[in-house]
Structure 1
Amino acid sequence: MNTMERRKFPFMGRRPDVAEWFEGFPFGLPFAAETHPIRIEESQEGDTYTVRAELPGVDPDKDVEITLDRSGVLTIHAERTEEEKSKEHSEFRYGSFTRSITLPEGVKEEDISASYDKGILTVTAPLGERTTTTRRIEVSKQS
């Protein structure tokens, strides 16, 4: 295969991932089974667990809702409406996107905080002591 063909067909020789075709689209692909509409990055440094989420083009005061349920699942919900108008053309994009993450055991729920800067939502969750005691349960025989 010559150089021109390789440039024209970059996936030649391997099966392309549909998400690769749309790389760079805001919020990913809502219809692709392997991808989530909100891309996240989770990390733990010392006693702090951090979740960073890509949310470009949203107003965090109006368009973002963060909740934590009793089972320790953090849910990020965002809605985006964007409209571009020019003299000869108008285009709009909108959508509602949700992503849920199970937080690690021992998170101090009352101290969780969130901030938004340049399209990135950062949720910080301080970690407390984990209760990882293991207990053996005896099985009784029924006669």
Structure 2
Amino acid sequence: MAGLTRRDRFELPEPMRRFIEGDWDVPAFRVEEYRDGDNMVVRAELPSVDPEKDLDVTVTEGSLRIHGERRESAEHKARTGYRSEFKYGSFTREIPLPPGAAQENVSASYNDGVLEVRVPLQPGGGQGRKVPVNRA
């Protein structure tokens, strides 16, 4: 066995590695955070979601949590065959809130596939609460 050498590990090209292993660093959905006067604004891109049934927005001490479920299906019928596609799954994202975020006055709205959450930045505290999402 002295003459056998161990082969070096074969490195896959980056696109192939991501395809096989998955890209775990990419979040479930994209968000943007910015300050608008005395508010922190979080906008999340969530197309094809029913805000009344599929979204749960919660604030707790120091954290904004967006959780939801996506359910889509499409059917294609033709003389030559039938095809059905399903897209479904749950997603969650937690966003840290800055000190002084007044969690009791948080508001959320959903319009054209975009969830917008506004968090007032003033001294406040208290227990976490669920935030209702209103259709704009």
For normalisation by structure 1, the TM-score amounts to 0.67
Query: Within 1, Cα distance between the matches of 2:15 and 2:118?
Result: 32
1:19-50 deviation line (CA, Å, top 9, x unaligned)? xx99xxxxxxxx42321011100001221100
Among 48, 53, 56, which residue is 1:65 paired with? 56
Structure-2 residue corresponding to 1:56: 47
Aligned sequence identity (%)? 47
Unmatched segments (≥5 aa) in structure 1: 1-14, 23-30, 131-143
Q: Which has the higher contact order (CA 8 A, sep 6+)?
A: 2
SS of equivalent residue, structure 1 residue 107:
coil
The whole-number CA distance in structure 2 between the counterparts of 1:122 and 1:17 is 33
* Letter of the structure 2 residue corresponding to residue 79 of structure 1: E
Pair 1:17–1:120, CA change in 2 (3 A):
farther
Q: How far apart, CA to CA, are the structure 1 residues paired with 2:76 and 2:46?
A: 25
2:91 to 75, 84, 97: 97
Kindly state the Cα deviation for residue 16 of structure 1 after the two structures are TM-superposed: 5.9
Question: Which amino acid in the other structure matches residue 99 of structure 2?
Answer: E
Q: TM-score, normalised by structure 2?
A: 0.70
> Where do 4+ consecutive residues of structure 1 move more than 2 Å?
15-18
> In the TM superposition, what whole-angstrom CA distance separates every residue of 1:117-143 from its partner, at most 9, and x where no partner exists?
01100000111149xxxxxxxxxxxxx
Q: Give the RMSD, CA atoms, in angstroms.
A: 2.2
Structure 2's unaligned 5+ residue stretches are 1-12, 125-136
More strand by share: 2
